[in-house]
Amino acid sequence: MKNPLSLALLAILALGVAPAAFAQERTLSYDTATEQTVLVVQRVQPAVVNINTERIVRQQGQDPFDQFLNEFFGRSVPRGGGGEQRRGSQSLGSGFVVSADGYIITNEHVVERASDLKISVSFPDGTTYDAKYIAGERQSDLALLKIEPKGGQPLPFIDLAKPSPNYLGQTVLALGNPLGYTSSVSRGILSAKEREVQVEDVRYKKLLQTDTAINPGNSGGPLVDLAGRLCGVNSVRLSFTPNRQPVQGIGFAIPADVVSAKFDQFRKAGESRRSDGLAGGGGGSKPPSEATAGSAAWKYFGLEFQSVSNDLAKLFGLPVESGVLISDVDIAGPARKEGVKRGFVVYRVGRTEVTEPRDVEKALSGVKPGQEIDFVVGLPSGSIPGVRGGQQTATITLLARDPSKAAK
């Protein structure tokens, strides 16, 4: 009895078809449209949005926070030079819809600079919406936005109630808008879980690690498995080792279970503000965090502070034990009116030397509306061309405002 393989070859030869041609025919018949990756992208991508700002700003040189955060977070920022700059619509990052009625998850660092910005989101089909900031926090690096669907039509969304099991080694896809290239997809594996990453003064815990390419602009976009289920939210990429050696293939995402819990928390916070008659970030403006809004520095002067970490000290050319960094300024506050900007360093409040935000709060305990307080302010490296950080200080007298006029 002849071998079945021999019979098959004889049949092919009898038909006048060469084995090579037979193999080629089999290859050409492969349908790429049925690949699991293709099907998942087609299903998930309609829910992924690009987050933009619409603003025109005037500033001296590059914003120091943009320069620093660009090394860690997926953010595309312009290179600053000396003199005045005007900046129009700018892509900040990505996000994705998590409910048919228009709630959107993104990273807090994507929208944290939006106190005086208008936030808009655009879908892959080109449809654009104005978005409202509902709530967010730096500790989790998550934020919640809201849009109103046009015509009352339900929006495509990624279901937070059906997360991925997140097995090590499983294939994952990162969707977003890196470097302004909309609707991009990258593929990799889930490399590790329960990672911790320190960025500035915040330690992010329980992160997922992946070798999927996460570039500036990917931040806030979804990381999904091959069933289209949410693994996490792309957040941080490691660009350099502590000794400034370049790194590739190490990115981090916030796990889906954390995202789901924060979504419920943020949505309830937004509903509570509306029931109290407070604006929930109307028109896209971002209210201060609860911690900031409750501080004396914010209530009376419109200032938010953070510690000067080792990385920030190196960046700004400052001694690490010296001063506190201004991380946010209320656009309607006394400090902003006197020309105080983000990135400035405060060394003394009244007669008190300050090295931590809590020192500022102690110095301002008992302050009254209408009271004048002296702030000794230094300029970080690069804030003003030709002036080195720590070499120039100025005493700025600020008049404490009525706390009821502070941004909510």
Residue 239 falls in the annotated catalytic set: no
Distance in angstroms (rounded) separating the CA atoms of residues 315 and 271: 40
Strands 222-225 and 171-176: antiparallel
Distance in angstroms (rounded) separating the CA atoms of residues 70 and 405: 33
- State the virtual CA torsion across 207, 90, 270, 116 in degrees, nearest 10: 120
- Give the tokens for residue 385: 């061309």
With residue 40 as reference, give the H or E element that holds it: helix 36-44
Measuring CA to CA, how many Å separate 55 from each of 88, 105, 224?
A: 5, 22, 32
- Give the tokens for residue 304: 């938010």
Q: What is the CA radius of gyration of the chain?
A: 26
CB half-sphere exposure, 322, CA atoms < 13 A: 17
Residue type, 32: T
Active-site position among 63, 76, 140, 141: 141
Residue type, 163: P
Residue type, 237: R
CB atoms within 10 A of CB 10: 11
Distance in angstroms (rounded) separating the CA atoms of residues 332 and 299: 11
Residue 109 falls in the annotated catalytic set: yes
Residue type, 176: G
* Angle, CA 112 vertex, CA 111 and CA 116 arms, to 5°: 85
Distance in angstroms (rounded) separating the CA atoms of residues 217 and 318: 30
Contact (CB, 8 A) for 330 and 288: yes
Active-site position among 115, 184, 219, 327: 219
Active-site position among 63, 76, 94, 109: 109
Distance in angstroms (rounded) separating the CA atoms of residues 320 and 355: 9
Q: Which residues form the catalytic set?
A: 109, 141, 219
